[in-house]
Amino acid sequence: MRKPLIAANWKMYKTPAESTAFLTSFYPLVKSNQTTEIVLCPPMTSLQALTDAARGKSVFIGAQTMHWLNEGAYTGETSPSMLTAIGATHVLVGHSERRQYFNETDTTVNLKLKSALAHGLTPIVCVGEHLNERETNLTADVLNLQVSVALEGIDPATLGPLVIAYEPVWAIGTGRTATPEIAEAAHKIIRAKIAAIAGAEVAAATRILYGGSVKPDNASALCGLEDIDGALVGGASLDPVSFSQIVINATKA
């Protein structure tokens, strides 16, 4: 009942020409896949080129961040209506690199989540513990806090599009993937918290992705688990063949 979602987070990689060349190579490899929602999140400067190139194809285009306001004196920022105006449909919110290097907090995640929902964007809200938090048994506390502040003041009836990505910070870009057991346990914590805040029905319908060193050879073990509804992929999404294999292996799971 939850449609699998596999998203590529290209971070600060790929020019517009490189982005459209990726789609040209990638699309034929996944075209026959009707079961998975595929999302590419390029840098802002590639969004327009990719939304144009993806028109008529079953691939969605998302931004890696946005401001929560619609316009204003916020140098360097991009607003939700600017994203929808060029055909972006998804947006990452609160990626750990945004939290670590650009001062994003649970409070700004909450503002961005409200704004994305209000503008009809599908938000992919990233949560996850640091290594020291896992080692001191704080994982559940961290996830519960991140999820509860993110959802604060939001009408559960509006949460249909919500996607959460569980990305343990120690697994991002490190080649160190969470074991399926660790990931599944964290996903269960997150789903239980959503149930406590927004009700069992919303929790059962919310897609929770795993992210952190997902590769073609571990995608199926992770995505085959009951509470894992797809993946958010960084490094391995930069190559069209590798990313297509992740889509295919995750879907078979």
Q: Is 9 in the site for ligand PGA (CB under 6 A)?
A: yes
User: What x-and-dash track marks residues 129-168 binding ligand PGA by CB under 6 A?
Assistant: --------------------------------------x-
Q: Is 42 in the site for ligand PGA (CB under 6 A)?
A: no
Question: Smallest distance from the beta carbon of 131 to ligand PGA, in angstroms?
Answer: 14
Which of the following is catalytic: 67, 90, 95, 187? 95
Q: Is 65 in the site for ligand PGA (CB under 6 A)?
A: no
Q: Contact at 8 Å (CB) between 165 and 210?
A: yes
Provide the 8-state DSSP code for 21: H
Strands 90-93 and 5-9: unpaired
Q: Is 213 in the site for ligand PGA (CB under 6 A)?
A: yes
Q: Is 91 in the site for ligand PGA (CB under 6 A)?
A: no
Report CA dihedral (158, 62, 71, 117) to the nearest 10 degrees: 0
Q: Contact at 8 Å (CB) between 63 and 47?
A: yes
Q: Could you say which of 132, 173, 200, 217 contacts ligand PGA (CB under 6 A)?
A: 173
Q: Contact at 8 Å (CB) between 74 and 67?
A: yes
- In whole angstroms, what is the distance from residue 119 CA to residue 80 CA? 7
Q: Is 123 in the site for ligand PGA (CB under 6 A)?
A: no
Is 90 assigned a catalytic role? no
Is 167 assigned a catalytic role? yes
- In whole angstroms, what is the distance from residue 20 CA to residue 49 CA? 7
Q: Is 216 in the site for ligand PGA (CB under 6 A)?
A: no
The residue among 169, 65, 80 whose CA lies nearest residue 125 is 65
Catalytic residues: 95, 167
Contact residues for ligand PGA, defined by CB under 6 A: 9, 167, 172-173, 211-214, 232-236
